[in-house]
Chain A
Amino acid sequence: MPQPVITASQLTKTYGDFTAVDAIDFEVAPGESFGLLGPTGAGKSTTMRMVGAVSTRTSGDLSILGLDPNAHGPDIRSQLGVVPQQDNLDQELRVRDNLLVYGRYFGLPRSVVAERADALLEFAQLADRRKSKVDDLSGGMKRRLTIARALINEPRILLLDEPTTGLDPQARHILWDRLFRLKEQGTTLVLTTHYMDEAEQLCDRLVVVDKGRIMAEGSPASLIREYSSKEVLEVRFGSDKNAEIAESIRDIGERHEVLPDRILIYTGNGEAELEQITQRGLQPITSLVRRSSLEDVFLRLTGRSLIE
Chain B
Amino acid sequence: MTVQTIREDSARAIAGGVAPRRWGSWYIAEHRIRAMKGYAGDAIFQSFGNPLIYLFALGVGLASLVPQGVGGVTYLQFVAPALMATAAMTVAANETSYPVLMGFKWNPIFFGMNASPITGAQIVNGMMIQIALRAVVTVAIYFGVIVLFGGVPSATGWLAIGAATLTGMAIGVVISSYTSTITEDRGQMAMLQRFGITPLFLFSGTFFPLEQLPIYLQPIGWISPLWHGTELGRVATYGLEEPIWLTVTHVGYLTTLFLVGLWATRKHFTRRLNK
Contacts and interface: CB of A to CB of B under 8 A. Distances in A.
B49 interface: no
A217 interface: no
27 contacts: A5-B9, A30-B3, A30-B4, A52-B115, A54-B114, A54-B274, A54-B275, A65-B6, A65-B13, A67-B10, A72-B17, A74-B24, A77-B117, A78-B16, A78-B20, A84-B111, A88-B112, A90-B31, A92-B38, A93-B34, A93-B35, A104-B31, A105-B118, A107-B23, A107-B27, A185-B1, A186-B1
Contact of A89 (B13, B112, B116, B274): B112
Contacts of A74: 17, 20-21, 24, 117-119
Nearest to A134: B107
A67 B273 CA distance: 21
A54 B117 contact: no
Interface string B113-131: 1111111000000000000
B13 A67 contact: yes
A227 to B, nearest CB: 32
Contacts of A100: 34
Contacts of B23: 107
Contact of B274 (A55, A90, A101, A106): A55
B6 A3 contact: yes
Q: Which of A65, A92, A105 counts the most chain B CB atoms within 10 A?
A: A105
A111 to B, nearest CB: 15
Nearest to B114: A54
Interface residues of A, number: 45
A186 B273 CA distance: 30
Nearest to A82: B115
A104 B27 contact: yes
Contacts of B183: none
Interface of B: 1, 3-7, 9-10, 12-14, 16-21, 23-24, 27-28, 30-31, 34-35, 38, 107-109, 111-119, 273-275
A269 interface: no
Contacts of B35: 90, 92-93
A84 B115 contact: yes
A156 B20 contact: no
A75 interface: yes
A268 interface: no
A213 B115 CA distance: 25
Q: Is the interface of A mostly helix, strand, loop or mixed?
A: loop
Interface string A31-72: 100000000000000000100101110000000011100001
Contacts of A2: 3, 5
A165 B94 CA distance: 35
B7 A56 contact: no
A139 interface: no
A88 B16 contact: no
B81 to A, nearest CB: 33
A13 to B, nearest CB: 9
A173 B27 CA distance: 35
Q: Which of B10, B12, B24 counts the most chain A CB atoms within 10 A?
A: B10
A73 B270 CA distance: 13
A75 B24 contact: no
Q: Which of B28, B107, B109, B112 counts the most chain A CB atoms within 10 A?
A: B112
B107 A90 contact: yes
Contact of B34 (A73, A97, A149): A97
B132 to A, nearest CB: 19
A207 B1 CA distance: 26
A219 interface: no
B17 A75 contact: yes
A78 B31 contact: no
A1 to B, nearest CB: 12
Given A49-B275, A74-B20, A92-B38, A102 B13 contact: no
A78 B6 contact: no
